[in-house]
Amino acid sequence: MDLLFDVRHLPNPYFESTLRDLTGESSKIVKYLSEHDDVQETIRRFVDLMEYLLPFYQKEGKSYLTVGVGCTGGKHRSVMVANALRDAVKKRGYNVSVVHRDMQK
């Protein structure tokens, strides 16, 4: 793991009974989390950091970068944030793949 982002500080959909069984790929989870300013701010800051770091990694000849995004269960917040990071980094011309290791646990 090259970088690890902890998102346990964000609101947890697990504690909303109607959202508990969904994943961070669900539009309902994305909507719930996106309505919180701290979620948007966290994603923005992570994207800013990635924009800053990626050219340095490339300059050093690093052919890939592994980024982990973690939360308590790996099902809601980390999935939504990882997908948001993927989308933002792809828009900047980088090749990105995402694996949600714990989403189905």
Confidence of residue 82 (pLDDT cuts 50, 70, 90): very high
pLDDT at 85: 98
The pLDDT-based confidence of 71 (bands split at 50, 70, 90) is very high
Tell me which residue range forms the domain holding 40: 3-91
What is the average pLDDT across 21-41? 97
Within a domain: 41 = yes
Q: Is residue 7 part of a domain?
A: yes
For residue 101, being part of any structural domain is answered with no
Q: What is the mean pLDDT of the chain?
A: 96
What is the pTM for the complete model shown? Answer: 0.95
- Residue whose token pair is 């994207």: 47
- Is residue 23 assigned to a domain? yes
What's residue 105's pLDDT? 78
Q: Are 29 and 38 spatial neighbours (Cβ–Cβ below 8 Å)? A: no
Residue 74 lies in a domain: yes
Tell me how far apart the terminal alpha carbons of the chain are, to the nearest angstrom: 21
Grade residue 103 by pLDDT with cuts at 50, 70 and 90: confident
Domain count of the fold of the chain = 1
